Each structure stands twice: as C-alpha cells, then as structure tokens.
C-alpha cells in the first residue's frame, strides 16, 4: 500500500501540477475562438482537479489540505466562469489561494505556530521549530507577492500570456524560491538526505 511518505515524488507532482498542465494544453489545443476555448478548457480543468483529488485519495491515502483548497476554488470559480462566460473568475482563483495561504501563515506566525507544517505535511525530518517558523515566514511573504503579481498580470496581459506565465513562469519561480530556502533549512537541522523534498513545498496551482 502506498502511503503519503512512500509515494513517489512524481506521483505527488502529477497530482499537484497535472490539472494545471491539462488546463494549459486544453486551451492551447482548442480549435475554437478565444472565449469558447477558455470555457471548454475551464470545464476540462474542473474535471481534472476532481480526478486529481480522487487520485490523491487512492494513491496517497489522503487529500492534502492545499489540494482540497485548490480543488474547491477551481470548481467554484470555474463554475462562475462557465455560467457568466467570464474568464476573469478562473484567473482570480490563484489570487484567492495565495491570499488565503498568506493570511493563514501570517496568523500562525503571530501565534508562533508554523502552520506550513500542517498545510504541506511534516516532510522535513530533523527541521527545528525555528526552521519551520522561518520557512513559514518566507512562504507567507512569497504567497503575498504571488497574489499581487497575479492581479497585475490579470489586469495587464492577455489570457494566453497570463496562462503561459502561470504554468511555466510561476512554477519555475516557485522551484527556485524553494531551492533558495534549502541552505536555511540545513542550518536549522534538516536532514541533508531530505533536502530534495523542499522543492515539493509551494506547489500550488
């Protein structure tokens, strides 16, 4: 039986990033006009995120909190997009996720509780409480930055450009940001054999 701790990282990446990649490919491959392509791709995105949640339950034996949050928002904001035929709603989904995460993490910091450990799982063996608090602080600030950046992009570039930046730019930036935190984690007790797992934190659609 596969557990959250023994599942291949590729399984987790597929669950976390797969629906967004499906959304991107569906939009790019649609032979319709821009609005219809967005609407059809959004519907496919909604189905993909539900399937990803089912896969998480089957393969990881649990649906991580961040996957629950992303799935609910994709279905709700995607529903508004389809009903009102307005792509702005699905574009607002990342902003809402980033803001919620930033608020939750900052509130946890104010209470001296590293909420990031609960959101993403206690995956860093040996990391001290101080390390968790610093990691939580860094990601809280980063999520706030992403929320602002998403709103700026949503208001200033085309849907096509926004989606490309969201899929490739934000993903690459998040991996780099996660990697930049590794030296700090190692200074605060992270087992060196666990450092590759740091790239899994922050994989938010």
Task: Quote the CA–CA distance of 125 and 117 in Å, as a whole number.
Answer: 11
The predicted pLDDT at position 3 comes to 41
Q: Examine residue 36 and state whether it is found in any structural domain, yes or no.
A: yes
Q: Examine residue 2 and state whether it is found in any structural domain, yes or no.
A: no
For the cut 70, the answer to whether the pLDDT of residue 96 exceeds it is yes
Q: Pick from 151, 161, 158, 19: which is nearest to 92 by CA?
A: 151
Q: Pick from 65, 55, 50, 20: which is nearest to 169 by CA?
A: 20
The predicted pLDDT at position 124 comes to 73
Percent of residues, the chain, with pLDDT higher than 90 = 60
User: Looking at residue 155, what DSSP letter applies?
Assistant: H
Q: Examine residue 97 and state whether it is found in any structural domain, yes or no.
A: yes
Q: Examine residue 1 and state whether it is found in any structural domain, yes or no.
A: no
The predicted pLDDT at position 4 comes to 45
- The lowest-confidence range among 12-16, 93-97, 104-108, 123-127 is 123-127
The predicted pLDDT at position 129 comes to 85
Per-residue buried b or exposed e for 30-54, using 16+ beta carbons within 10 Å of the residue's own CB: beeeeeebbbbbbbbbbebbeebbe
Query: Does pTM surpass 0.95?
Result: no
| Residue pointed to by tokens 């991996």 | 175
The predicted pLDDT at position 1 comes to 35
Q: Examine residue 3 and state whether it is found in any structural domain, yes or no.
A: no
Is the separation of the CB atoms in 56 and 63 below 8 Å? yes
Residue 83's domain comprises 9-200
Q: Examine residue 165 and state whether it is found in any structural domain, yes or no.
A: yes
Phi/psi of residue 186, nearest 5 degrees: -65, -35
pLDDT-based confidence at residue 42 (cuts at 50, 70, 90): very high
Q: How many domains in the chain?
A: 1
Percent of residues, the chain, with pLDDT higher than 70 = 86
For the cut 70, the answer to whether the pLDDT of residue 14 exceeds it is yes
The predicted pLDDT at position 51 comes to 96
Alpha-carbon Rg for the chain, nearest whole angstrom, is 17
Q: Examine residue 173 and state whether it is found in any structural domain, yes or no.
A: yes
The predicted pLDDT at position 66 comes to 83
pLDDT-based confidence at residue 164 (cuts at 50, 70, 90): very high
The predicted pLDDT at position 142 comes to 97
Give me the mean pLDDT over the 135-139 stretch: 93
Give me the mean pLDDT over the 1-7 stretch: 46
The predicted pLDDT at position 202 comes to 54
pLDDT-based confidence at residue 199 (cuts at 50, 70, 90): low
Q: Examine residue 100 and state whether it is found in any structural domain, yes or no.
A: yes
């Amino acid at each position: 039986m596969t557990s959250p701790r023994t599942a291949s990282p590729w399984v987790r990446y597929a669950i976390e990033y797969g629906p967004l990649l499906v959304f991107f490919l569906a939009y790019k491959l649609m032979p319709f006009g821009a609005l219809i392509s967005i609407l059809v791709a959004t519907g496919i995105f909604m189905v993909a995120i539900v399937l990803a949640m089912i896969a998480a339950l089957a393969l990881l034996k649990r649906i991580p909190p961040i996957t629950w949050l992303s799935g609910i928002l994709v279905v709700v904001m995607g529903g508004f997009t389809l009903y009102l035929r307005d792509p702005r709603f699905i574009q607002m989904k990342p902003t809402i996720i980033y803001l919620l995460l930033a608020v939750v993490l900052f509130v946890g910091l104010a209470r001296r509780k590293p909420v990031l450990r609960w959101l993403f799982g206690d995956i860093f063996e040996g990391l001290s409480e101080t390390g968790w608090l610093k990691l939580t602080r860094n990601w809280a600030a980063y999520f706030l930055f992403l929320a602002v950046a998403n709103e700026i992009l949503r208001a200033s570039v085309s849907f096509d450009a926004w989606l490309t930046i969201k899929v490739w730019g934000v993903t690459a930036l998040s991996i780099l940001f996660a990697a930049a935190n590794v030296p700090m984690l190692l200074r605060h007790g992270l087992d060196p054999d666990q450092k590759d797992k740091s790239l899994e934190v922050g994989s938010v659609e």
